[in-house]
Structure 1
Amino acid sequence: MKYYLLKEIVGYLSEIAHSIKLIKRIDNNIIIIEFNNKNSLYFDLSKGNSSIFKREVEVRAKKEFNAPFDVVLQKRFYNSKIESIELYNNDKIINIKVNSSSSYKKLTTILQLEFTGKHTNIIILDENRVILEALRHIDEFSSSRVVKVGIKLDEISKQNFIPKIEKVDDIEEYLYKVYNDIESKNIENYKKQKITQVTKKLKKLEKTISLLPKKEELEEESDKLYEKANLILGSIHLIKPYQKSFITYNYEGKEIEISLNQEMSASTYSNDLFKKAKRAKHKALNIKIEKDNLEEKLEFLKRMVHNLKSANSIDEMEFLYPKKQKNQTKTKKSQQYESFFFEGYKIMLGTSERENIYLLKNSKASDFWFHLKDRPSSHVIVQNSKKTIPDRVIEKAASICAKFSSDYGGNYEVDYTQRRNVKIQSGANVLYNPYTTIGIKI
């Protein structure tokens, strides 16, 4: 960060910050400090990319941080009174000095936030500048400036230059803008990453579909195999052992030469051809179903790309297409539907008629069922064991139903009811009553 921005922020905090109500780490290199009454600032001490920002909605911690650094941070700064906030040594280092009372004595602690390139760090010091804890511990083999618990912190060598000073008209507005700029950049990068992952799967599926044998070709293959098998069977009494081929007439009366398999008898070879002909005929009957299912999966992936492009936050993209967890591949392959997780609820989406039928047959009476009003759509099931589900879950499930049933944005109506009120007519066709309708904009 630039020196003049840190100076402006220190001036701003010196005026408005009198106490620290809450302090904690919410990401590997980010801490949140709530000053006074819900005035929160975020301090990102990532090396080479440090920043300070504010945001309208509080960031949720990605996990619980319980390292020694976090324990000391809470113990020394939670509900503490601020004694001073300054730029230490007139460098790009913020010192927040606080006093907190324990059951034994008054404690003075310094939170040193270093925005100094390779030395970027968060260090907790006592009143004598002895290190109590640090975000990054640095030994004597890594740097001439050691950061270890129990030793006095060495000073950072000051740079010999005159910092450029600029005026920031509204520092709060600037802090919000910092976050918005960071978030916009992160969203674009994350979006590209997610879309690339889905597109890769999409192209692989397109290749699989293109390599599927055609129904007509399989039927033609089956007919040829049946004819050859019958011709061998009809001439079985004339074929001598170890004969490589024989001359006969086909169904059209034309003279043809039939080759034989030297590794088996003519009768065994004829039976083998009958089996292959039967398999080809069966495959021809099922190839359309297989192709339809794959094309519906392809359509789902295309809609996933469209929905990722329309997403406005990383949370939304992570919800739509979460990172793969360990051992997830095996589970996904055995799963006959797409699934999403939201606020502890499992939301299941059918992407084909086969998957819709599966969801209808395997859902419980207490589950909630969603479908676009008066038009074809995917079936969505929310697993549930109670009489109701939260409004936010209803909105999310209805949104999924609309997003993966239509190619266009707009306003849609989605009907929903408990599964016990849905009667299967045939396949995935149903009748349902009573039900509620919710309007969704996508």
Structure 2
Amino acid sequence: MALDGIVIYSLVDELSSKLIGGKIDKVYQPEDDELMLHIRSDKTNYKLLLSANSSNPRLYISSTHSKENPISAPLFCMILRKHIQNGRIVNISQPNFERIIKITVESLDELKNIKTKDIIIEIMGKHSNIILVDKKENKIIDSIKRIPINVNTYREILPGKKYIYPPSQDKLNPLEDISLSYFKDILYKNNNAVFKSIYSSFVGVSPSIAKEVCFRACIDENSITTSLDSSQIENLFESFRRMFGQIKNNIFYPCIVIDKRIDKVIDFSCIKLHMYSDYSFIKNESISFILEQYYYKKDAKERIHQKSQDLRKSVSTKLDRLYNKLKKQSEELNESKNAYIYKTYGELITSYIYMIKKGMEEIEVINFYDEEGSTVNIKLDKSLTPSENAQRYFKKYSKLKNAEIEISEQIDITSQEIEYLENILLNIGNCENTIELEEIKEELIKHGYAKRRKDFKSKDKAKPKSEPYEFVSCDGFKIYVGKNNKQNDYLTFKIGSNEDIWLHTKDIPGSHVIIKSDGKSVPDSTLLEGAVLAAYFSKGRMSSKVPVDYTPRKNVKKPSGSKPGMVIYENNNTIYVTPCEEIFTKIKNR
């Protein structure tokens, strides 16, 4: 999947038809690497998203953008407002079929003179950037990412520097006419798998498009180019020529390819990918729609993952300490369980006290507690009397015996804390938006596992609440799944009623699940789906035969003073399920 030169070509065609002549009303920068331009064109309002995100660089007209903008606009946003806000878009182009889009804007300066600026969006993976350039001087005004000479020796991306395009890859433009013999020479020159030879020879062509060319020509994409005979070369050339002939004539088929069994996106493109005929297609006239469908959830998920990294690291560090603490406590418990040996030593010293004199370092005596009557060596403190040595062992026995009870209690506390934080770690992984992430942060702050930032300012307005997952079983019963501990408590004790079915993975961190019975008997098929959801939203997601406990909700209790999400339950049964992606997708899409 790639936002390649072909997709950009179709995108430029779409943007040109809708935005040229449009006025840029507003400029926002919701993320460090992302812009949103509000454009009024032909009596229609558009939101143009521009992103230089390293993982998901992209550009398209957005219909679902809902991010909050920072209270204070970043510097680059302020510069853009100065130079292009209220300006008109006069041209949109794609230089040399590269993954670059240039938006040319005319605006008035302070003296009411017309000035022309280029907004250049370079879609180059981790090197992606958005650069504002003075068109007349070809000088950089500023960029969303500043790149000094010590980072890139080929070109600096800094204010006042001359703008230079990224280095050329010396590839051919696939839209230019070439002969069959030249096409053959190009492929033979790159003696590789056919599809590799195609995408490494032509600019803007992704591996996916190269494979589609091979598929249409009925040629194995992995065949070595020099192994192709003349008829195969001709078929390949004809397939290539027809595909790019359609693109040149702006004949597009914007689509997303989906494996519906597991609800997974396989690919997207602006042409029909016949090689995926066994999969389902989402088709739309707008390539922007297709790009937003693909990138919206992907980008949101990755940004949440990035924003949660510090929290995840903090919880993981605390867990590592607790694991070490539990190990040490377990070792101490094992030692305390051997306390009887010190009592035996004390009693043996008392029994053989007539044989011991002060100053002795050890004594060997018969252990009359041993059925075989073996001898045992007992270490002595030569500075103590025989009686004092016996008392020393009796005291050690008492201390360890008392410690056994205390250590056992400490182990229970440590184990509960580990279980709680493992659940927190799982909850962080389940986060789908910043609201859910903030709820977890607040919970950790409340229970002393995290501190509030010094620059934190409380907002008076009520915070929005996250909602649990809601599914419908094959029998029509509603099934709810908590996303975090706060939701788990709310789900179990507010949404759930006494006769509903409560489910949770057995001895495995996971979400609370409630099957709403509405006074009816819950069928086994619904119970099975509820168990699959409990296993899927647990640490056992990638395992097979995951044990899931279930019981009427009335059997679930929350101990006084326990942490969020912590409960005890009784009278439960256990079912074993394998949480495969295909079954989950079927439930999710019902």
TM-score (norm 1): 0.61
1:58 aligns with one of 66, 79, 85 = 66
- Does 1:297 find its partner at 2:450? no
Give the share of equivalent positions with the same residue, in percent. 16
Structural mapping, 1:68-83, within 5 Å: 69-78=76-85, 80-83=86-89
The 1:51/1:234 distance shift into structure 2, 3 A limit, reads: same
- Does 1:136 find its partner at 2:146? yes
2:489 aligns with one of 392, 395, 401 = 401
| Residue number in structure 2 paired with 1:283 | 403
- Does 1:179 find its partner at 2:295? yes
The 1:211/1:142 distance shift into structure 2, 3 A limit, reads: closer
The 1:57/1:274 distance shift into structure 2, 3 A limit, reads: farther
> SS of 2:389's equivalent?
helix
Structural mapping, 1:404-415, within 5 Å: 407=504, 408-410=512-514
* 1:179 maps to amino acid: Y
- Does 1:428 find its partner at 2:560? yes
Q: Are 1:248 and 1:256, in contact at CA under 8 Å, matched by a contact in 2?
A: yes
> SS of 2:173's equivalent?
coil
Query: Separation in 2 of the partners of 1:248 and 1:181?
Result: 76
Query: Separation in 1 of the partners of 2:9 and 2:163?
Result: 23
Q: Are 2:308 and 2:437, in contact at CA under 8 Å, matched by a contact in 1?
A: no
Q: Are 1:85 and 1:96, in contact at CA under 8 Å, matched by a contact in 2?
A: yes
- For residues 387-411 of structure 1, give each alpha carbon's deviation from its aligned partner in whole angstroms, at most 9, with x where no partner exists: xx93635978851534799723226
- For residues 339-360 of structure 1, give each alpha carbon's deviation from its aligned partner in whole angstroms, at most 9, with x where no partner exists: 6989x999xxxxxxxxxxxxxx
Query: Separation in 2 of the partners of 1:249 and 1:3?
Result: 87
Q: Are 1:219 and 1:284, in contact at CA under 8 Å, matched by a contact in 2?
A: yes
- Does 1:225 find its partner at 2:342? yes
> SS of 1:272's equivalent?
helix
Q: Are 2:140 and 2:157, in contact at CA under 8 Å, matched by a contact in 1?
A: yes
Displacement after TM superposition at 1:220 (Å):
5.3
Q: Are 2:84 and 2:117, in contact at CA under 8 Å, matched by a contact in 1?
A: no
Structural mapping, 1:287-326, within 5 Å: 287-301=407-421, 303-304=423-424, 307=427, 311=430, 313=432, 315=434, 318-319=437-438
* 1:3 maps to amino acid: G
Displacement after TM superposition at 1:102 (Å):
5.0
Query: Separation in 2 of the partners of 1:256 and 1:144?
Result: 83
- Does 1:390 find its partner at 2:397? no
- Does 1:261 find its partner at 2:380? yes
Gapped regions of structure 2 (runs ≥ 5): 176-243, 255-284, 468-483, 494-502, 505-511, 517-558, 563-590
The size of the alignment, in residue pairs, is 363
2:112 aligns with one of 105, 109, 115 = 105
The 1:11/1:340 distance shift into structure 2, 3 A limit, reads: farther
Q: Are 1:226 and 1:277, in contact at CA under 8 Å, matched by a contact in 2?
A: yes
User: Once superposed, what is the RMSD of the aligned Cα atoms?
Assistant: 5.2
| Residue number in structure 2 paired with 1:352 | none
Displacement after TM superposition at 1:181 (Å):
6.1
| Residue number in structure 1 paired with 2:91 | 85
- Does 1:22 find its partner at 2:22? no
Q: Are 2:30 and 2:68, in contact at CA under 8 Å, matched by a contact in 1?
A: yes
* 2:357 maps to amino acid: K
Gapped regions of structure 1 (runs ≥ 5): 323-330, 347-383, 413-426, 431-442
2:174 aligns with one of 158, 162, 168 = 162
Displacement after TM superposition at 1:86 (Å):
1.4
| Residue number in structure 2 paired with 1:245 | 363
Query: Separation in 2 of the partners of 1:229 and 1:139?
Result: 78
Displacement after TM superposition at 1:126 (Å):
2.1
Displacement after TM superposition at 1:87 (Å):
0.2
Query: Separation in 2 of the partners of 1:249 and 1:144?
Result: 85
Query: Separation in 2 of the partners of 1:234 and 1:12?
Result: 100
- For residues 154-188 of structure 1, give each alpha carbon's deviation from its aligned partner in whole angstroms, at most 9, with x where no partner exists: 46658531244251322342132232463487489
* 1:132 maps to amino acid: I
Query: Separation in 2 of the partners of 1:219 and 1:153?
Result: 74
Q: Are 1:88 and 1:94, in contact at CA under 8 Å, matched by a contact in 2?
A: yes
- Does 1:150 find its partner at 2:254? no
| Residue number in structure 1 paired with 2:122 | 115
- For residues 356-376 of structure 1, give each alpha carbon's deviation from its aligned partner in whole angstroms, at most 9, with x where no partner exists: xxxxxxxxxxxxxxxxxxxxx
The 1:403/1:214 distance shift into structure 2, 3 A limit, reads: farther
The 1:35/1:239 distance shift into structure 2, 3 A limit, reads: same
Displacement after TM superposition at 1:280 (Å):
0.5
Displacement after TM superposition at 1:77 (Å):
2.5
The 1:292/1:32 distance shift into structure 2, 3 A limit, reads: same
- Does 1:39 find its partner at 2:49? no
The 1:275/1:108 distance shift into structure 2, 3 A limit, reads: farther
* 1:14 maps to amino acid: S
Query: Separation in 2 of the partners of 1:84 and 1:400?
Result: 54
Query: Separation in 2 of the partners of 1:397 and 1:155?
Result: 51
Query: Separation in 2 of the partners of 1:251 and 1:391?
Result: 69
Query: Separation in 2 of the partners of 1:273 and 1:61?
Result: 70
> SS of 1:160's equivalent?
coil
Higher strand content, 1 or 2: 1
* 1:12 maps to amino acid: E
Q: Are 1:223 and 1:277, in contact at CA under 8 Å, matched by a contact in 2?
A: yes
Query: Separation in 1 of the partners of 2:141 and 2:332?
Result: 74
Q: Are 2:24 and 2:39, in contact at CA under 8 Å, matched by a contact in 1?
A: yes
Query: Separation in 2 of the partners of 1:116 and 1:400?
Result: 42
The 1:256/1:130 distance shift into structure 2, 3 A limit, reads: closer
Query: Separation in 2 of the partners of 1:220 and 1:48?
Result: 55
* 1:121 maps to amino acid: N
| Residue number in structure 1 paired with 2:132 | 124
| Residue number in structure 2 paired with 1:95 | 102
Displacement after TM superposition at 1:224 (Å):
3.3
| Residue number in structure 2 paired with 1:350 | none
The 1:185/1:214 distance shift into structure 2, 3 A limit, reads: closer
Q: Are 2:300 and 2:433, in contact at CA under 8 Å, matched by a contact in 1?
A: no
Query: Separation in 2 of the partners of 1:187 and 1:47?
Result: 11
**Range with greater deviation from structure 2 (175-184 or 282-291):** 175-184
